[in-house]
Every structure is written in C-alpha cells, then in structure tokens.
A and B are shown apart, each in its own frame.
Chain A
Amino acid sequence: MNRTPCNLALEDGSIFVGQSFGAEGTAAAEVVFNTAMTGYQEILTGPSYCGQIVVMTAPLIGNYGVNPDDVESGKQHLAGFVVRELARRHSNHRASSGLHDYLRAAGVIGLAGVDTRSLTRRLRTFGALRGLISTEITDPAELVGKARASAKMEGRNLVERVMPDGDMVWEPSGGAGRRVVAMDCGIKRNILRRLAEAGCEVRIVPPNRSAESIMESKPQGLIVGNGPGDPAAATDAIEALRPLIGRMPIFGICLGHQLLALALGAKTYKLKFGHHGANHPVLNVETGRVEITSQNHGFAVDIASLESVGGRISHLNLYDRSLEGFEHAERRLFAVQYHPEAAPGPHDSTYLFDRFIAMIGK
C-alpha cells in the first residue's frame, strides 16, 4: 500500500486529506455515497458509477478482498473510491487479491483515512457535489477550483462511455432458449446471469441500434438495463426505444426504467443526493408487501408526468415516496428504478424476472 497523500476537494470548498491507494492521478467527477455494507467489488465494477466518485459509508472496506466472480462488468468504471479505512489484509476463501492492487490495475484512484461520515452528511445536506480526487495536486485553492470547474451531471450522456461496440450473445445456462434482447447502456452482468438462468439467450446490443435491426433477430422480449448519467441526455436510446414499445414484452431496470418513461413521454428529474445502497424499502403497491432493495440512481421519474401518459405506479420508495416502478399494461412493459438483480443487495425482488419470463411466455 502506498502512503502517498491523496486529496478529495468538493465544490463547496471542503477538502478531505487522506492516504492514496490504488492508482495515482487526478480525476473530477460527481461525488456520491453508498450505504451498502457488503458488495464493494460489485460497486467498483458496476457501469452505472461511470463518472462518479463513490464514498462508502461502511467504514471498513476491503476486508474480504476481491475475486474473479463478483464482477458486474469487464472493468471498473468509477473515477474514484473513498473509504474510511482500507483493510491491510483481506480474508475470504474466494479472494484472489486485495483492493489496492485491484484498483491500481484498473487505474482507479482510491482515498482512505478520511471522515466519510462528515463527507456523507455534506452530500446529504447540499446534494451530490462535484469533486476532484488527486494525488498530484496539493494546493487547496487549486483543488477546489478544479472541482468547481468540472462538468455537472445534469445533461451528461455517459451511456456512450460504457456501451458495447457491437452485439454479443450471452448463452442460456440451461433450458429452452427464449430469445431476449438486452439494451446495454452499461448493463450489470447479474441481469444477464438471471436471464440466462431462466433459460434466455440474451442478445446484447448497444442503445444506438435502430429498432429495425433489433427486430431482425425476432426477439421475444426486451430488457433495458441500468447505466450511468442523466437519462434525459441519452437521446439515442430513447429514440431507439420508442418504436419498440408495444411490439414485445419489455422490462426496464434503473436507467432502463427512466428511459422507458422518457420514451413514453414522461419526465425525469435529478434527486438531491440520489439513492445508493442496499437497504431501501420499496412498497409493492399491488401486494402491499415491502421489498428491501438495492438502489443506485441519481435521477427519478416524475410521477405526475408518468401517470399522464398512462403509466401505472407499481412500486414506491418508502423513504421518500419517489417512484420505484411502473407498468403499462397495454404496451406490455414494466420497469423498476431499483436493482432486482441485486449484486450487491438483497434478493427480495427476483420475482420480477419470473414475471418478465411469464410475459414472454413459451
């Protein structure tokens, strides 16, 4: 582990000084916190964190190391990773290496030894802030200046940075092959794993693909996955979705939920500090049951605008009553704002995949 100092400056003028781990360098990004107590490797590899510096509120990170299996994509997308204390030694039977080496290999800047709780309280109070993480710049004024000069999340289309170059096919792990297309705006692997386990052959396409070319493979269902950035800025994806709606069962997750809402004509807005964690209670409006969910989003769908275009609320966040899921029966689509595929997080919402499979039918 290196003992190089590392700084995180926020646009509000505060600077958190700690020790560097992982890669060295400088990066500017939106700073968000995540309250999950397990699953840092999934967070590191989750494409939705592209363009963000993630602060873990759990204070002891790296305890169980990293392993080759718990990955949600082929790389790490975030700009920086901030922890209270990095484990010097990890311990788990599946671990293949430690966090320091893992981040270093991926070029992600890590910062340890800072007051993550105060940092979190700031983000809660002032909303997600822009920040600059750096092992190179030490002048306080320069750090803050660059943080303030960095790009805002609103209006940023980050999908382009994480989407695949071409099509790929994820084979079913057993059972009859249903053909499903996954629109990949940064889709997490566990969504694909869940579909494959349910016997789907998943064709993964980038979101700039035209409807016609998607329909060529005669898909039985479409899944629109998660991804980073401002959904309203992902205009290609929204345009691609519009002609597909109604032609087959569609399931949206996270960014996919927002994109479908936008494609239907609803609006999205930026949440103050977003939902990032693995403990959010979501009410299933239909059954009255509460699901403990995995969440990672900074934007939400405006409920009134969604209802005005015929969307029906299916799930609500019990923390702030924001929209967590909707459906549109005639158009055979449903979507949730949270992550039913978990990884990290509880498996309470796995039933949504069954529902999607049931909609597709045989």
Chain B
Amino acid sequence: MPKREDIKTILVIGSGPIVIGQGCEFDYSGTQACKTLRAEGYRVVLLNSNPATIMTDPEFADRTYVEPIAPQFIDKIMEFERTRGQPIDALLPTLGGQTGLNCAMEAHEQGILGRHGVEVIGASPEAIAKAEDRTLFKEAMQRIGLDVPISGTAHSLDEARQVLSDVGLPCCIRPAYTLGGEGGGFCETMEEFERITARGLSQSRIGEVLIEEGLSGWKEFELEVIRDRRDNFVVVCAIENLDPMGVHTGDSITVAPAQTLTDREYQQMRDSAKAIMREIGVDTGGSNVQFAVCPATGRQVVIEMNPRVSRSSALASKATGYPIAKVAAKLAVGYTLDEIPNDITRTTPASFEPAIDYCVVKIPRWTFEKFPDADETLTTQMKSVGEAMAIGRSFKEAFQKCIRSMEIQRAGFGLDANDRWLVAAHARHAGGEPDAYRSLAERDGAADASIMLGSRQGEAPPDVDESSATHWPIDPQVLRQKLAKPCQGRPYYIRYAFKLGWTVDQVHQLTRIDPWFLDQLAQLVEFESELLSIAAHAPSGAASVREKLSPDLLHKCRSLGYSDQQLAHALRAAAPGAVADDSTDGSCFRMVDTCAAEFEAATPYFYSTTEAPILRIENGSAVRSTERELQVSTAPHVVVIGGGPNRIGQGIEFDYCCVHASMEARRLGYRSVMINSNPETVSTDYDTSDLLFFEPLTHDDVTRVLRAIEAQAPIEGVIVQFGGQTPLNLADSLKQAGAKILGTPPESINLAEDRDEFQQILAEIGLRQPQSGAARNVEEARRIAERLGYPVLIRPSYVLGGRAMELCNNEADLSRYVTRAFAATDRVAASAADTPPVLIDKFLLDATEIDIDAVADYRRPGDDRGDCVVCGIMEHIEQAGIHSGDSACAIPPHSLAPDVVQELQRQTLLLARRLGVCGLMNIQFAIAGGLPYVLEVNPRASRTVPFVSKATGVPWAKVATGVMLGRSLRDCLWDYGVGRWPRPLMTAIKTPVFPFKKFPGVDAVLGPEMRSTGEVMGIDESFGLAFAKAAIAAGLSLPTSGNALVSVNDPDKPRVVPIARELRELGFKLFSTVGTHKALKDAGIPSTIVSKQAGAPEGFLLDLINHGVLDLLINTPVHYGAALEEGRWRAAAAARNLPLITTIAGAQAAVGAIRSLKARGLEKALSVRALQDYAAGLR
C-alpha cells in the first residue's frame, strides 16, 4: 500500500536522558526514523530533552524541541505548531523507548491528543495498553492459547499475599510500566517478597505489580519481529541469552542467532510471536517478544512483549544489518514490508528474514566501581550502563572479541595480566615445576566431588572470605557461590572452575547456563593447555609469538579469537603484530550482508575474522589464499575511532562527536571509516560512514583495520580525539605503528596530562593554577598534601569521569583514598616506574567552576598563524569539587563579571597556542577571589561539546574536524555561518541524571567522582525558567509549595539561611534537624524540628521521607556513605524520587527556579520553542 497522504506533520518523541535501561539505542532508532520520514516527504517535529543526541541536531527534523518529555509539553508543542499554521497530524511514540511510549500514553489518556486531533501511529494506544498492562497481556495470551507463567497482579501488599498463595515461592515481581525492570526482583523468601513487592508497587506508574512463578534457570530467548497492515510478519533476529532466566536481559550476555533450538522449537516460538503480534494488534511496526524455555521439558512460556523499538532491536539491527527503526517508520506511514527495499542488498525487499552466517555476542558493561555500596548481584532489575557487541565466525571468537571490547583491561577470556591462574602458573614454571601450565585436574586427577555438595544453589557458605575470590587457587566454596550467584565476573569464575577440573555438568548445576555454551568456554580452557605446553618447553624471553608458534597453531589461536596481547602474555613473548586482510594466515574481513552471502550486497559493514585458507592449483602447485571481501574506494580515507561501550563518564556525547567527525569528513570529500564496538550508537549505523568496522577498540584490532584499508587506499589520518578516553589511549601506540593522528598531536595531549611539564608551561605563559604535586607512591602523596595544606583533591591521570578522584579533608581521608587512586588509571603501565602518577591539588574553597570548550587551528606549539575560538563558557552551578560531569551548568555564565569572561578567553587562547591545539579543547577553570585558576586542560572533545553546540547553534565537532583535516578555522566557521565570537541563543542549562534509584541503598550525594549516566538541557529566556525546565526534564519536579526539609553541614549553615528564608516566603513549610534548626532560629526563621534517630518525640527524618511527607530535601553532607544515617536519607530520597539537593549552590539555583515558576504560574511560565526558532533569532 502506498504511504499515507492524509498526514503531513509527525511528532517523534525521543527517550530523554541516558539512564540505566535506556541508553543511546533510542538516538540510533530515532535518528533513523527522522531521516526516513523526512525522506518520505513528511514534516518532522521532534521532542527530546537530551542535547547529546544526533536526532536533536536541527538538520534531522523540521522542528526540534529540546524540552522536557512530559504531556504538558506535548500539549504546548501541539498548540504552538498549530498557531504557526502547520498543525501536527500524527504522533509516533514507538521509537523513544519506554519514556517516549509512557509519555505518549499519558498524553493520550489526558485527552491532549484528542483535543489536538492527533492520531497515534506505529502502534495504537489500545495495542500499547494491551501489551504493557500485565493483566490485559496475560488474558490476551490465554485467549490465543499460549502458555504464560502462573501469575497474578496486585495493587496492595495484602492483595499480593493472596496472589502468592497461588503462585508460590520462588517468584518474580514485575511492576507495570517501568523501564529496565525497575523496582522488580526475584524473591525466594517471604521477607524478600514483602520488601520487593512494596518497592514495586511504589515505583509502578499505576501502582501495580505482577507476581509470577519463578522461572529462574530456564533458557531465555527474544525474537525481534515486525508486522505490517497486510499481516505480513517477519522475524528479524532470534536472540538467545547465555545467562538464563533470573537475570535481566539487559544484564545478560546474549548471542545471536539462537543456538540451542531445533527448527521445531524455533518455529513454535515464531508461530507464537506471530500470534501475539496479531492478538495485541501491532500492525505497523516492530516489537520484541521474550520467551522462557524449560530446559528439561521444552515447555515454552511467553514472558513479555514490547510494542516498540527496544534495546534488543537496536542490537538485532546491528547484528543482522536489518534497519528495524527505518522499516518501522515506513510501516507507520502506510507502507507494507514488500514495498520497502532492503538497503543492504538493494535488490531484495525488506519482507524477508535475515540469514546470519556468523555469531554475535553482546556483553553488558557495568560500573559497580562507581557505586562501591551497590549490590553487584544481577537480578531482574537492570544494572548495566552500556554494552559492547562483537561479531565472529564462531561463538568462541565473538566471545573473546567481545570481552576485549569491554574496556575492562581484559584482553580476552583469560591469559592476560589480570588472569590469576596464569600469574600463578608462570610463577610455578619459574620455580621449575614441570607441570606448571596444566590445569589442576590434569595434574591431580579428577576434581574432588565433595566441593559440589552442600548448601542449596547460590547460598553463601559460612565464613567465606570474599577477597579470596581474587586469589589463585580460588577457594572452592567461594567459587561455588560466585558461579551460583550471577555477577559481572561470572565468566571468569567459570574459567577458574574448569581450571580446577570442574566439569561442564557441575558448572551447569550451579550456573544453569546451557551446557552448549559452557562447553564452548571449556574448549577455550582446554586449548590453553595445548598452547601453554609450548610455553613450558620453549625458552622464555627474546623469541616472539610468531617464532614460538607454528603457522597452524597461530592460525588456530586467531580463529578461536585470541588476541595478540593474550598470546604474548601466555607465552611471555613479544606480540606477533596485527596482520592485514588477505594475508596468508587467514586473517580477513567479512561482510554483514543480511543474507549469508546468498546475494551480492552493497553494504559497507564489516567485521574481522580468521578463516581456513583455500587451496588453488596454479601452474601445477597448490597455492593458499583467503578470499578478500573488503573492497575499498581509492579516495583518501579518514578513520574515526569510536568510544566503545557506554559507561559513566563516556557515553553518547562522544558518539555524537564521532558521528559529526564522520559526517564532516564525508562532506569535505573524504571517505569516512568508523571503528566502534557499541551496538547502541548512531556511529555504528551502516549509513553513517562510508565504511563501518564493528571491532574491539584495541591497538591490534584497530591496526588490523588500518592495514586492510591502506593496502587499497590512502589514509588521510585517524581521529582519536572525539571518542573519549578509549581511542585517546590508543593514540601513542597507533602513532608508533605509523598511523597519522589528525589534529592535536598525541604529545600535546600527553603534555596536558603530565603535571610537571604542564606546570612549567603555565608558569611560562603566566597562568595560575592551584598548588599541586604529582605523587608516585603513598608516602610522596602524604608529603605533598602536607606541604599544600588540606583540603586537597587527589586524582589519577588517564582516567574517565574522575574515576577515584576524591576530596580529602585530612590525612585519614588521604590514606583511605590514595591507594585506590593509584590502581584506577586506565593506562596500562609498561613497568612499575612508568606507572602514571596521582595528582594532588590544593582544593580551592568556595570556588566557582567554569568549563570552556574551544576550537583552534594551531599546526604546532606556539604557532603564530593559528587562531582559536571559544565555543562556549559554562558556569557550573555546583561549586568546584563536584565532578564537572555531575554538576549542572549554564550558558551563558550567570554570575561572571565581563572582565573575568574576557580574561578567561585570553587564557584559553594562550593555552591553545602554547599546546598547539588543532581541533577541540576543553579547559576547566576555578574562579576564586575573582581570579581564574586552571584546573585541567584536555586538548580533545569533551562531554560538553554537544551541549555547547545546541546552546550556540554551531556544530563545533564538525568545525573542529575541518580544522583537523587542514582547513583554516576561519573557513570552517564560514561554512556554518559563524562569526568570531558566537553568542549563545538563550540561557541553556545542562542538568545531569543519576542512577541512584537503580542502586537501592547507595548514598545519593555528589562528589569529585562522576556518577551521572546522562544529561538533559533546559532552554528558556531566563536562568530560573531554564533551570526549572532542566529539572523537570531530569525527572526532578521542583515543587512550588509544600514541605521542605533543610539539614546542612556546619560550614553551610550561614549560607543556607537566605535560602530557607526565601523558601518560607514562597510558602513552604520548613523542617530542619537540630543544628540547622538552631541556625535558622537564630536568624529568625521558624522551622519544625525533626530527629535524625528513630523513636524520638519529634518526627523521624527517615519516616518523613518514606511516608511521602516531604516535597524537597536540602541536605549538604557532613559525611559520605550508605552506612551512615545521612547516607540512608539520601538513598531513601533517591529511591522515592524526592527532589534532593546536596549543595548550597544547587539549592540557590533551585529556589531561584521555584521563584520564576511561581511568579508567572507554572502553566504560563513554561513555554516551548524550537531550536530552529532560536537559530532564526525569533523571540
């Protein structure tokens, strides 16, 4: 059927800030949808509060609203567009994750859509309700005769207990309408049941939970499916979870295609999925359907379905090459599947099911190191913040490639510097032990069966010393527990178990992981013995891996996915070095073509693998060769290295920069090449770059790509400055390997990280910085701190997001944190002497922090002919000491005097020229006593580039790319119509979003280490309104009346007085704790005293929070940590979504915003405006 002509303007809703459970996959799907709809001639209006998305680039929609994703804003946008004469006809809510879908449903339920005559396309509200509402869904499944877990819904604890009498323990709690399984969990005991049910009820939007029979340990599958209005139905991809039921699929290692289903079982699943799509009524889009399969009987039950594009569909798109979001967008406007061409083959239609001739593995990326108090056990509630994907021709190869994509300092499945077993084996070997490298089982016979006996699955044995889990040989009791309880390190413990001689069946009993997967891992462990027998016999030292291994064995290592780094470690030899495509050892690149090579494909999407060579007879003798699939145009190539898996401190902002670099390189006539391992991103979309390599971002893997391209075409250079710390860490070694690094040279980047040299430079150009020193050991750190005087800030070098950065008020703090800081660096040192130092800075009290992004085109340090432009000056709302990524900030600066701004610009220019910055640069200043101090300089793209770009209307990453490719800054700016000093359009506020809700019990306080997962932007004409919008968009609804509790530390007591006074004037009822109460009373401000302890005659603070009495909590910390009472308040506030402010500066800004809101009335105060309006200078 042709596309619909009755709709002209479509509103697309994005997913807002990056949070756990909702990463940048929805930028990928939304961007694809916007592109598709506009190509079809529709007018696209976009709503998304996340400025770091590609979809919010003004060129991807006709009207781009960076406003909070909330029904009242949808209402305002629809109203505004109507008054402008181009009313919105339809709303497409299925591409913005759960956030977009929920918001659209609320707007529908509130009658907003009806009032504006807007039709929901993609999935009807009825279908969405049927799929999302647990009861309706279960009824629907039973109607079509499908098996579902025994379950019941409850709206209260009493009702829940009733349901439990049918379902029984163990059971699973799933709240309705939450994302990432938030608030849910698996319960084995009554105590767990009561606790998790209560939490689930409070977190569900409709106060409903589903209580379901415990399917923990069953096999878990997902089908990514699409259906059109003609009832055509295709399965894009079947995904099998390595981790069985009980672990959220977002926290599971997953594999595509499904590996352990017979055709009969797979087709039964496919039939079910088709019946579900029909019954639910999804007829113009994609969905995801989850199944559990009983491993003993094959019983299949339907778990859930999402009537929208999901994280899994992003993965399925990247795993198969099938653009689900694009196809879903076309279906939403009326096409049928057979009318849509397959972009990859170009000759076949989208109405087919991709055939895969490789294996795809996805591994989640967690950041528990940021939340030491969080429970690391993996459950039905998602905890990971990102993921990496790898492609290989075998599971073993893909699995190892995926591990080394994780950015966790693992080179693969064991055999690296972090492999305790290998370290111990090398030591045994050095001690002359003949069997050093054989596993315990091989040395001592079969494993002791008694270690398997004992308590029930997953239960902690008594007196387990957790730290012994890091020692070899690992205590069997500890190992049992590590295997039985899903956690992020489980694969490595499985390896240790095999090393101890445990069998696949024994490990299966504990992990419930399918024996097929376990045997795959066991094969790798067994192969190690073959490999290491060589190490045992060869003399250690000089010889390289290539010399030690026969070509056949090296080939085998490579086809099993071993990295050169692993081989070098295992054999204590020099790494063999990367090899290019078409080499005789079988190393090659293969195409992701959706059809298993059945048809010729035009796709630019590749992965590396190793194949057995083919023999040909030429002139009477046999010649070995490997077929070459990679065909590269001879034009000059620009290679962009992406950021790898999302984690805190490195996320969508860097992907945004990489995508812009690729787009700009293409615009300037180069062929762009993207290398990345993150399936959620726009950068790994097959049409973002001219060539896409889905590869781990290690030196060897990247060089392999570079060599393959170089064999056919010139490489203009490699861009490492846009993808965050991951590519930056490769800069030196790539340069040594002969790659041309574009832009600021790695030496200058290193210069900025080298404390001593950097100090000299600042002195030379006459800039101030806080007194500091670089320590290489604990004793040195202590001496420096004493010299500077406390408080001091300690920070490791070469880390992301202020990892292990701490503010120390005294020597006790210093001793506690400094060891952690030494261990935290991301850079692997060649030797102990080479360990990067920890920096100790004098901490400036009450300083205002400033972030500056700038672009410069200096071709060498001190270049006279270059130029530098300041992109934006951001004033932080929180004081220096809170990590810049966790601090809200404003453009333009709201409190700086003009002469300070000028001085900052002058200093920026001086620094850029001295360092020879060519491209982007970020500087952090602290202003204390009216004087700027340089805190940090990073000559590379920073997290704030997208925010500054949106706030100023200039694509700074593109400007910088042009500069890096040799054009003058003036020319690059000219292309985007920018004069010398771009002026911000309005006041724009960036506010971070935190994952505290996902880590119950974790202290929700800000500090020098970054813990936010994402950010939102609020734009408006005044600071107060912009701040209020940003707060709403971040999910922190500022109250305009109600009860506010104030409890601050001693230094903050005088400063909180005016804030409290204003809150009272605004009509708030004040509560306070003893000390603060006194301070307020002395200032003549009445407040109700509350107790910090339970049982006191006054109200108990924690009760006020938990009973929902409070509307606002202002609490600046005395101490940190979840073990302390104030830590518990903050954790409780975060869990209940109570607006919590932990800094005085934040409180001041919040009160200002509340005042703005009240002054004009909430409804009137908040208006909407598209980015295009700001750009046109409209008011």
Residues on A facing B (Cβ under 8 Å): 13-18, 33, 35-39, 41-42, 57-60, 63-64, 67, 69-70, 84-85, 87-94, 113-118, 120-121, 124, 140-141, 144, 277-281, 283, 288-290, 292, 318-319, 342-348
Contacts and interface: CB of A to CB of B under 8 A. Distances in A.
A65 to B, nearest CB: 9
Interface string B603-620: 000000001111111001
Contacts, number: 195
B1120 interface: no
Interface string B587-602: 0001000011111100
Contact of A57 (B271, B348, B597): B597
Contact of B259 (A33, A60, A124, A346): A60
Contacts of A345: 263, 267
Contacts of B356: 37, 58
A64 B351 contact: no
Given A35-B355, A64-B261, 9 more contacts: A57-B597, A70-B262, A121-B597, A281-B351, A281-B352, A283-B338, A290-B232, A318-B349, A347-B270
B262 A41 contact: yes
Interface stretch (B512-520, B1122-1130, B1142-1150): B512-520
B1117 to A, nearest CB: 52
Given A94-B298, A140-B615, A289 B231 contact: yes
Contacts of A141: 617, 620
Range, interface on chain B: 35 or more
Contact of A124 (B516, B600, B616): B600
B612 A140 contact: no
B3 to A, nearest CB: 16
A-B complex: 5 closest residue pairs judged by Cβ atoms: A39-B263, A344-B263, A57-B596, A89-B519, A91-B516
Looking at chain A's contact residues, is the secondary structure mostly helix, strand, loop, or mixed?
loop
A120 B393 CA distance: 14
A343 B259 contact: no
Contacts of B1167: none
A289 B278 CA distance: 15
B376 interface: no
A115 B615 contact: no
Given A60-B359, A279-B352, A289-B231, A15 B262 contact: no
Given A37-B257, A140-B617, A141-B617, A289 B232 contact: yes
B863 interface: no
Nearest to B355: A35
A85 B393 CA distance: 9
A67 B614 contact: no
Given A60-B259, A280-B352, A117 B357 contact: yes
A120 B338 contact: no
B18 interface: no
A92 B516 CA distance: 9
B262 A64 contact: yes
A89 B262 contact: no
Given A91-B515, A342-B267, A64 B260 contact: yes
Nearest to B396: A85
A16 B263 contact: no
Nearest to A317: B348
26 contacts: A13-B616, A15-B615, A17-B615, A37-B355, A39-B262, A41-B263, A58-B355, A58-B357, A58-B596, A64-B261, A64-B262, A87-B516, A90-B516, A92-B265, A93-B297, A114-B612, A121-B597, A121-B629, A124-B599, A141-B620, A278-B353, A289-B232, A290-B232, A318-B338, A343-B263, A346-B270
Contacts of A37: 238, 257, 355-356
Contact of A35 (B337, B590, B598): B598
Given A14-B615, A93-B298, A144-B617, A88 B519 contact: yes
Nearest to B1: A288
B354 interface: yes
Nearest to B618: A13
Given A288-B230, A290-B337, A92 B353 contact: no
Contact of A38 (B230, B263, B297, B516): B263
Nearest to B519: A89
A4 to B, nearest CB: 15
Nearest to A15: B615
B513 to A, nearest CB: 10
B306 interface: no
A318 B348 contact: yes
A318 B352 contact: yes
Contact of B263 (A42, A84, A91, A124): A42
B198 to A, nearest CB: 38
Contacts of B349: 281, 290, 318
Given A37-B356, A64-B261, A344-B263, A85 B599 contact: no
B117 interface: no
A90 B597 CA distance: 27
A67 B504 CA distance: 22
A318 B599 contact: no
Given A120-B597, A140-B615, A115 B394 contact: no
Given A60-B394, A281-B352, A292-B352, A14 B616 contact: yes
Contact of A63 (B347, B516, B586): B516
B754 interface: no
Nearest to B508: A91
A290 B338 contact: yes
Interface string B510-553: 00001110010001000000000000000000000000000000
A294 B370 CA distance: 50
Nearest to A291: B232
A121 B504 contact: no
Contacts of B613: 115
B1059 to A, nearest CB: 63
B296 interface: yes
A120 B357 CA distance: 10
A57 B357 contact: yes
A85 B230 CA distance: 39
Contacts of B270: 346-347
A58 B257 contact: yes
A129 B256 CA distance: 30
Contacts of A69: 264
A17 to B, nearest CB: 6
B627 interface: yes
B355 A115 contact: no
A23 B514 CA distance: 29
B627 A13 contact: no
A201 B758 CA distance: 90
Contacts of B258: 38
Interface in B325-377: 336-338, 347-349, 351-359
Contacts of B600: 124
